[in-house]
Structure 1
Amino acid sequence: MAIFILITILCILIILLAVVTIRAVLCKVSARSLKEKEKKGTPESEEYYSKRLARLISCETVSHKDSYDDTEFSKLRTVIQELFPVMSRRASLRIFGDDCYVYMIPGRDTARNVMVMSHHDVAPVSGGWKYPPFSGKVAEGCIWGRGTVDTKTPLFAEFSAIEELLNEGFEPACNIYLASSHNEEIAGDGIPLAVSYFRKEGIRFEWILDEGGAVIDAPMSGISCKCAMLAVHEKGRHTINLTAGKSSGHEGLMAKTDTPEVRMASFISRVHSHPPFIRRISPQLRAMFDGLAPYMSFPMRIIFANMWLFGGLLKRIIPAMNEQAGAMLGTSGTFKNINTVEDGSCRAELFLRCVNEDDLSAEIEILQKTAADYGIVMSDAKEGNEYYPPASLESTGYKYIKSCVEKYFDYAACAPFILPAGTDARHFGRLCDAVIRFAPIDINNQQFKSVHGIDENISTESVVQAVGFYKELIKGI
């Protein structure tokens, strides 16, 4: 009997091994084949676009929370009018807030709308740069300066593509919008004001393409190709105010473990050591793994091509493999602004970034019970809490953009992902079921890390690629 059981178990294991191996092989065989990267432009086209882009980079459009100085923003508007005269003449223009502009080129079917967008404000500059941060210096095959990656290159490429198409006599099939905010970096009011206008006018969009993802070096070990990552969702934001009230009784007679500061510290330690956050493989995360699995080395492919078997294991090991991928599993929390106030209480904020709104509600309930154990009162912040739905992976808009990316960047794997950071695009989540965050720029790890850092730069070849991509995207609508 024991031998029979042993043989049965062995047979099951052999069958299981065969199944996961076959699935890993089929995953590779059925995937789209990648090609060798071909140069899109010429030395002349790279020089032409680089010189023009440098004029945008030279405008020091840094956004500030408490003030707005139009000097550099006005300079940028002038540059745009000079570089793109046909679009400036043909398109209608609306300004929202101080300097958020929305261009519209009417199409043959005025009931249909699509949008490309990229903000024109940039993060402040600090540290020692190899080349002056607002010089637009062309050197070492790259353009250097603040905004080259985030996100004046995509913005320049959008304008250039539309300008060139209009010069060629192109007539859009539908209305094409180009939106650019002056205060995205500070989560400002530019795009929200535009969204209010669109909502009031009943204007919806088939698809919207903003910045967020890009063509990057492999985001996970075991992948040897470039990867075009399309953000189809970004984490919501929720701030909770925490108050540990002053304990009753004489301060000198109180137990040292009963002070508001100690109770707040104990609560924070508890949340860090036993986080209440739900971890799950969401449809967006599963789609990311499905998109990348064919291009993984064989041992890794066995695991990611068989999520039905290894999903539970992956939820545990992904955070150790890749911090950004780990953040896509669910809510993350950060404690900030911890201080003792005049009334003797200790206060803090817990900033939560969630993937799933229902999960967040359940997590907050657990946090409330834990906080009560430490005599801490929780309350929602009055402002800043927001959640927007993800793009539909079944929408025609997402499928169209993904097909354009796969065709144009035929040397890169293509997959969706969840963006931990914030973009202006999130505000359109209820006006479009295909809000995609992807800048068509091919960047390396140094360039990726230079966003909001020092020595931000982009290759001159990538600028040519970006213009070409937007032209193909717009011509195909």
Structure 2
Amino acid sequence: MSRNAVEETDWAAFDAFVVALPELYPRLHATLERERHGHSLLYRWRGVGDGAPTVLMAHYDVVPATDEGWEHPPFGAELTGSGDERLLWSRGTLDDKGALVAILEAVEALVAAGHTPAADVYLSFGHDEETVGSGAQAIVAALAARGVRPALVLDEGGAVVEGIFPGVAKPIAVVGVSEKGITSVRLTVEQNGGHASTPPKLTATVRLARAITRLNAKPFPAGLSETNLQMVETLGAHTTGPLRAVFTRARRLRPALVAVLGRVSDETRAMVRTTTAVTQLSGSLAANALPETASAVVNVRIAVGSSVEDTLAHIRRAIHDPQVRIEAIDANEPSPVSPTTGPEWEAVARGITEVHPDAVVTPYIMLGASDGRHFTAISDAVYRFTPFEMSGEERGTLHARNERIQVATWLRGIRFYEGVLRGR
């Protein structure tokens, strides 16, 4: 079950994008090899040595948008403002075409400057990250069949943010070293239908609603993974105010810390536990007919350290009703945790500090899902970082109206990718 309707995709726009790239980036296309996997693209930039390669990732599909409520058309790519205040308005500027084009700009500039990487560099551009991720999976399968095992994989994910962690005034560069599992769980109730004028005491919809409220009333247990502890310890050194004493003693004060993070915000609450959100509901096809089937889809983000099996067991205990069928669809386990030391981590951290010298670089568990999770099958160092500064208001435009990026931010993103590539 995909997150968006694949059958509604405008494939002509994808074809036009692929055709336009060689015209926009002629030096890159004259130097790198390109192959297609469906609409997904894999480029190979051959290095001078035979060391383990680097993979830079992005995706160019976006979630749907209509003109309604947008200050500028979502697919108009309109520029406003001047100087440092210039903004580019378009669906995908932050998620994730902005990063994709920044990668292309960086490689084009390096090729023009005569740079050749020490080892191979691959560019992996997915076409369906927002739905099923089949493009990334096909690319991983192709690389695995060739015996390619990348030293470093860098996909979208965290960003340079402010105001997300209490007491920390500096900008924070959050680098995803893992990501939560993502699973859709369908709850289904089936029983006899009939005329709505003579309903039974417990209709299918009422039983389903009861199951949902029971699940909502019993959240998953909270805790802190090793990565989250590292994040708190890293940021604790830069915290001011009364919370500094808690954050710098994270391991000894773990229960208190879990309680604090569970109350600060939706983002920090999601850090400490598996979360559930009912996203889809269905019932009768007619206003005056009892439903024979009522169903709900629960979007579950599974905490690192847990599993799909544990998640389903908790949901069954919480609902406690054998007449509610519970089944996992699109089940994905949490990703393995990539190292926070060593040359690959340092390459990413160094690239960040070269462009954002005041930022505190910290690992974190990515709450969303990316194509990068598929690459954990062939690489031990998969990181998720989008090299853009994003305010809370800008992060709120992801998958929403008025998505946009500051041009100055995007240009700094290009510099980040150039810095990472110069070191590979």
Q: TM-score, normalised by structure 2?
A: 0.87
Task: Give the partner amino acid of 1:227.
Answer: I
Deviation string 1:224-270 (CA, Å, 9 cap, x unpaired) is 222111112221122333344538xxx999972x5444333333222
Task: Give the partner amino acid of 1:71.
Answer: A
Q: CA 1:455–1:242 in structure 2 vs 1: closer, same or farther (change >3 Å)?
A: closer
Conservation of the 8 A alpha-carbon contact between 1:239 and 1:385: no
Aligned to 1:316: 259
Deviation string 1:137-162 (CA, Å, 9 cap, x unpaired) is 33222232222222222212211111
Conservation of the 8 A alpha-carbon contact between 1:135 and 1:144: no
Q: CA 1:476–1:335 in structure 2 vs 1: closer, same or farther (change >3 Å)?
A: same
| Structure 2 unaligned residues grouped into runs of 5+ | 285-289
Shift of 1:273: 1.6
The residue correspondences of 1:82-161 to structure 2 (distance < 5 A) are: 82-97=23-38, 99-126=39-66, 127-140=68-81, 141-146=85-90, 147-161=92-106
| Structure 1 unaligned residues grouped into runs of 5+ | 1-62
Task: Give the partner amino acid of 1:404.
Answer: G
Q: CA 1:89–1:265 in structure 2 vs 1: closer, same or farther (change >3 Å)?
A: same
CA distance in 2, matches of 1:456, 1:382: 30
The residue correspondences of 1:209-288 to structure 2 (distance < 5 A) are: 209-246=154-191, 256=201, 258-275=202-219, 277-288=220-231
Shift of 1:66: 0.6
Shift of 1:312: 0.2
Identity %: 25
Conservation of the 8 A alpha-carbon contact between 1:333 and 1:352: yes
Aligned to 1:361: 309
Q: 2:300 aligns with which of 344, 348, 352?
A: 352
Conservation of the 8 A alpha-carbon contact between 1:235 and 1:420: yes
Q: CA 1:69–1:368 in structure 2 vs 1: closer, same or farther (change >3 Å)?
A: closer
Task: Give the partner amino acid of 1:117.
Answer: M
CA distance in 2, matches of 1:338, 1:289: 37
The residue correspondences of 1:439-454 to structure 2 (distance < 5 A) are: 439-454=386-401
Deviation string 1:149-188 (CA, Å, 9 cap, x unpaired) is 2222221221111111111111210100111112222234
Shift of 1:204: 1.2
Q: Which protein shows a greater Rg?
A: 1
Shift of 1:386: 4.3
Q: 1:173 aligns with which of 95, 110, 118?
A: 118
CA distance in 2, matches of 1:264, 1:444: 38
Conservation of the 8 A alpha-carbon contact between 1:220 and 1:322: no
Conservation of the 8 A alpha-carbon contact between 1:239 and 1:351: yes
The residue correspondences of 1:389-428 to structure 2 (distance < 5 A) are: 389-428=336-375
CA distance in 1, matches of 2:22, 2:5: 25
Aligned to 2:249: 306
Q: CA 1:125–1:227 in structure 2 vs 1: closer, same or farther (change >3 Å)?
A: same
1:184 is paired with a residue whose SS is coil
User: Greater shift after overlay, 125-134 or 229-238?
Assistant: 125-134
CA distance in 2, matches of 1:423, 1:301: 32
Shift of 1:476: 1.0
Aligned to 1:74: 15
Conservation of the 8 A alpha-carbon contact between 1:264 and 1:376: no
Task: Give yes or no for the alignment of 1:197 onto 2:142.
Answer: yes
Aligned to 2:287: none
CA distance in 1, matches of 2:333, 2:348: 26
Shift of 1:192: 1.4
1:86 is paired with a residue whose SS is helix
Task: Give the partner amino acid of 1:444.
Answer: S
User: Greater shift after overlay, 393-402 or 435-444?
Assistant: 393-402
Task: Give the partner amino acid of 2:179.
Answer: E
Q: CA 1:201–1:311 in structure 2 vs 1: closer, same or farther (change >3 Å)?
A: same
Conservation of the 8 A alpha-carbon contact between 2:183 and 2:331: yes
* Root mean square deviation, CA, Å: 2.7
Structure number with higher helix proportion: 1
Q: 1:162 aligns with which of 78, 87, 107?
A: 107
The residue correspondences of 1:450-469 to structure 2 (distance < 5 A) are: 450-469=397-416
CA distance in 1, matches of 2:306, 2:322: 26
Task: Give the partner amino acid of 1:110.
Answer: D
CA distance in 2, matches of 1:446, 1:369: 38
1:102 is paired with a residue whose SS is strand
Task: Give the partner amino acid of 2:79.
Answer: V
2:44 is paired with a residue whose SS is strand
